[in-house]
Amino acid sequence: MRRVARLMSVGAGAVVVLALSKVHARFIADPPYDFTASSRVLWALAYISMLAVAAYALGLPDQPRSARAAFFHATAAALAAALGMSAVQLVLGDALLPRFVVFGTVLMVLPIQVLANALVRRGDQRGEQRDRILLVSTDAERARLLDDLADSPERSASIATALSVADASGDPGRNPLIATVHNVAATVVVLDRLAQGDDRIIAQAASLHAAGVRIRTLEAFYETWLGKLPLSELERTSLLFDIGEVHRSTYGRMKRLFDLACAAAGLVVLIGITPVVLVGNLVANRGPLMYRQPRVGKGGVTFTILKFRTMTSGPVAGPDGTPWTAADDPRITSFGRFLRRSHLDELPQVINIFRGDLAVVGPRPEQPHYVEQLSEKLPFYQLRHLVRPGLTGWAQVKYGYASDDRDALEKLQYEFFYLRNQNLRFDLRVAVRTIRSIAGGSGTGR
């Protein structure tokens, strides 16, 4: 049902816009005109694209968890696209699409988007497209995987059952792993490192693989289903892969061009929004406009990151650095809270991108004090400094806010996954998901 719902969500705008355009051209316009022979076809396609982008940005059809939420998300998406098209028409001074088409589409796509979301939620309730996992691992790995599956997996899955290595191996002549797969209707068998070294388990896994059951190592399962590297594999595999920015010079050049293009667009927004922030500071956030803080960048080099200030002004950094900032930190001012929720406080970092301190996508830079602490506690933490840090990153999209060492360790697993899979397509994916997250109100980590 999820695929049908997504097709409905994307196709609704196209069908409605084209249908209403034909109706207007033939029955409403005076005199009638041939819609397919006019330039309005191109603007209809542009409006269809706006509808699709707005729907995706607001999480349709997957994210809303109720019919009411789906209605509000669909309304916001349709109105955003309609107002966007109206703004374009106002600037160009021409009726590119009739109001009948622009606002008639808003009314007609709403029930379709709500229905598409209902199909997704019904499929989730019935457990459709959810892989059933048989895990062969230690109790600690099973507990950790259960926690990870509860937090925004890339693919839906549930643990059907779990076996220890001893139970899965069994006595000679017995096949407990095969029997358990059939008993629980598992679709994927996941083997940890110990299980991979057991000959009887591997023999059973080979038979299951031939019968159509998917077999995955724990590391491969984490990468495909969760978009991260498992904690147990970080130290063992952290140096055993190429990093795009380090080992592929063409990618490095293309990434820098992408960064500069995004920074140029961001600079236009920064120039426009700065006067608004100045006024807001005078009302509810008195103090300096900018906040400057040392961060560790590529190669371990320290640079100064720029942000609009969101907290009470004054010295906050002692010899041990500033404390971890909590999401509800009392130092955050009322206007500063708005800046943080909207992520407008991050806009000055486009200057850091121009300077070469930051990329658009990469591991978020930390303060020198934290880097020193975390390097002592986390395996191969310094590897993240082989690439330029980012304005946003895979860890921010997947995990969000980090407020202590445990969160830093969790985010490191996502950062290593990014380093291992770094390419332009992945960068674009992270950038788009960041926009979707912010537009949907969930934000990203800082």
Q: Confidence band (pLDDT; 50, 70, 90) for 319?
A: very low
Question: Does a structural domain hold residue 180?
Answer: yes
**pLDDT above 90 for 58:** no
Do 160 and 27 share a structural domain?
no
Compute the distance between CA of residue 120 and CA of residue 1 in angstroms, rounded to an integer.
6
Question: Does a structural domain hold residue 56?
Answer: yes
Structure tokens at 284: 């509810």
CB neighbours of 389 closer than 8 A, spacing ≥ 6?
A: 295, 296, 297, 298, 357, 358, 359, 362, 363, 364, 365
Compute the distance between CA of residue 405 and CA of residue 324 in angstroms, rounded to an integer.
9
Question: Does a structural domain hold residue 41?
Answer: yes
- Give the lowest-confidence range in 62-71, 173-182, 288-297, 423-432: 62-71
pLDDT tens string 329-377: 788 999 999 999 888 999 999 999 999 999 999 999 999 999 999 998 8
Phi first, then psi: give them for residue 189, nearest 5 degrees: -110, 125
pLDDT of 314: 58
Do 118 and 136 share a structural domain?
no
Question: Does a structural domain hold residue 445?
Answer: no
**pLDDT above 80 for 327:** no
Q: Which residue range is the domain that position 25 belongs to?
A: 2-125
Phi first, then psi: give them for residue 441, nearest 5 degrees: 90, 0
Do 136 and 119 share a structural domain?
no
Number of domains in the chain: 3
Do 105 and 250 share a structural domain?
no
Question: Does a structural domain hold residue 446?
Answer: no
pLDDT tens string 295-313: 999 999 999 999 999 998 6
Structure tokens at 431: 């950038």
Question: Does a structural domain hold residue 238?
Answer: no
More confident residue, 263 or 313: 263
Compute the distance between CA of residue 208 and CA of residue 159 in angstroms, rounded to an integer.
18
Compute the distance between CA of residue 44 and CA of residue 96 in angstroms, rounded to an integer.
9
Compute the distance between CA of residue 4 and CA of residue 99 in angstroms, rounded to an integer.
30
pTM recorded for the entire structure: 0.81
Last residue of a domain, one of 107, 125, 143: 125
Find the mean pLDDT for residues 108-127.
87
Last residue of a domain, one of 105, 125, 145: 125
Do 176 and 99 share a structural domain?
no
pLDDT tens string 19-30: 999 999 999 998
Q: Confidence band (pLDDT; 50, 70, 90) for 95?
A: confident
Compute the distance between CA of residue 396 and CA of residue 213 in angstroms, rounded to an integer.
33
Question: Does a structural domain hold residue 153?
Answer: yes
Compute the distance between CA of residue 350 and CA of residue 391 in angstroms, rounded to an integer.
8
Do 172 and 248 share a structural domain?
no
**Mean pLDDT, the chain, whole residue set:** 89
Do 389 and 258 share a structural domain?
yes
Do 357 and 257 share a structural domain?
yes
Do 172 and 85 share a structural domain?
no
Compute the distance between CA of residue 349 and CA of residue 236 in angstroms, rounded to an integer.
35
- Nearest Cα neighbor of 51 from 135, 120, 137, 110 is 110
Residue with tokens 């996502």, as numbered in its chain: 414
Compute the distance between CA of residue 371 and CA of residue 296 in angstroms, rounded to an integer.
8
- Give the lowest-confidence range in 113-117, 258-262, 318-322: 318-322
Find the mean pLDDT for residues 117-140.
84
Question: Does a structural domain hold residue 334?
Answer: yes
pLDDT tens string 196-243: 999 999 999 999 999 999 999 999 999 999 999 887 766 666 566 778
Last residue of a domain, one of 78, 97, 125: 125
**pLDDT above 60 for 316:** no
Do 118 and 144 share a structural domain?
no
More confident residue, 348 or 324: 348
Q: Work out the angle at residue 208's Cα, subtended by the Cα atoms of residues 190 and 156, and round it to the nearest 5 degrees.
A: 40
**pLDDT above 60 for 403:** yes
The domain spanning residue 184 has which CATH number? 3.40.50.2300
Do 351 and 279 share a structural domain?
yes
Do 301 and 368 share a structural domain?
yes
Structure tokens at 348: 């000055």
